[in-house]
Amino acid sequence: MSGLAEKAEAFRQLHHGNGILVLPNAWDVPSARTFEDAGFPAVATSSAGLLVSHGYPDGEGMPRREFVRAIGRIASAIAVPLSADLVAGFGRGPRGVVATVRAVIEAGAVGINLEDKEPVRGSLFPVPAQVRKIRAIREAATSLGVPIVINGRTDALRAESIDATKRFDEAIRRATAYRDAGADCVYPMGLTDGPSIERFVRALQCPVNVMVRAGLPPLSELARLGVKRVSFGPGASYATMGLLRRISEDVLKRGSFASLLDGAISFDELNRLAVPRTAPPSPSD
């Protein structure tokens, strides 16, 4: 586990540098390798992207063993740190969630994303219950000797059960509790406007993750606002599937192969994406 511990610490430090950690979310080995080859210092998985690529809708319908195996295949193919999106942890209580976390650490992940929304009903878990999970995860990771980076996500901003005028304050309350329980970074899902991001960052005084989506300020402005981590979420999956749809329409409706051929990688480049790395790519690669 010593190598994983070093990766985990390196991943943690990326949240405390002078700039923003831009974290792309992959869904399989080639997408993760493509991000690594592009120069990203770490990669995360997208729960939606990974699950859908295996034939499951986003959520926890995929068997945990199959899910962990998919994480392991990605982790073994890249040299940079990997953070795994665990949805709600594939377990109702701390014991089940910890079992998942132990499994993904052993599979090679050094970070996790844990949300506070129940994946079937869509309701928010009570704060004390989510706090117990985060504390249990921190204790389990410590016992393994791997100081994983916990990204505590809250869906309070999108919770229909909460009055719209109270959602922002509830997101701060929840994120603060998760931070105090051991989360290294907090993730207010759905936060996109500059003034609200600035207020949230000032209230939390810890690394804050926002997701790329329409309306999000550019990186330079996010840096000024104090954001430390920006993730793609399922955005790259959306973009890739959108490209495949455009290719299909070009061929079937216009008889053109241009979008299929323009910008495509070669056969050799595709094959190389399946060859595991032992070290991160150098700038000259």
Q: How confident is the model at residue 278 (pLDDT cuts 50, 70, 90)?
A: low
pLDDT at 14 over 50: yes
Q: In the prediction, which pLDDT does 187 show?
A: 98
d(CA 182, CA 149): 9
Please report the DSSP string for 11-35 in residue order.
Answer: HHHTTSSSS-EEE-EESSHHHHHHH
Identify the structural domains of the chain with CATH numbers, from first to last: 2-272 (3.20.20.60)
Q: How confident is the model at residue 280 (pLDDT cuts 50, 70, 90)?
A: low
Classify each residue of 197-220 as buried b or exposed e, where b means 16 or more C-beta atoms within 10 Å of its C-beta.
bbebbebbebbbbbbbeeebbeee
Q: Judge contact between 4 and 108, C-beta under 8 A.
A: yes
Q: In the prediction, which pLDDT does 123 show?
A: 95
Q: In the prediction, which pLDDT does 178 show?
A: 98
Q: In the prediction, which pLDDT does 1 show?
A: 64
pLDDT at 133 over 70: yes
Residues 6+ apart with CB under 8 A from 85: 25, 44, 45, 46, 47, 50, 112, 113
Q: In the prediction, which pLDDT does 281 show?
A: 61
Residue pLDDT, tens place only, 183-230: 999 999 999 999 999 999 999 999 999 999 999 999 999 999 999 999
d(CA 258, CA 33): 25
pLDDT at 284 over 50: no
Mean pLDDT of 145-160: 96
Q: In the prediction, which pLDDT does 275 show?
A: 86
Mean pLDDT of 140-163: 95
Greater pLDDT, 271 or 283 = 271
Residue pLDDT, tens place only, 95-127: 999 999 999 999 999 999 999 999 988 899 999
Q: In the prediction, which pLDDT does 99 show?
A: 97
Q: Judge contact between 75 and 107, C-beta under 8 A.
A: yes
For 198, how many CA atoms within 13 A lie in the half-sphere containing its CB? 8
Q: In the prediction, which pLDDT does 279 show?
A: 60
d(CA 3, CA 109): 11
Q: How confident is the model at residue 282 (pLDDT cuts 50, 70, 90)?
A: low
pLDDT at 159 over 70: yes
Compute CA distances 116 → 126, 127, 205, 228, 236, whole Å. 8, 8, 20, 21, 23
Residue pLDDT, tens place only, 221-263: 999 999 999 999 999 999 999 999 999 999 999 999 999 999 9
Residue pLDDT, tens place only, 35-65: 999 999 999 999 999 999 999 999 999 999 9
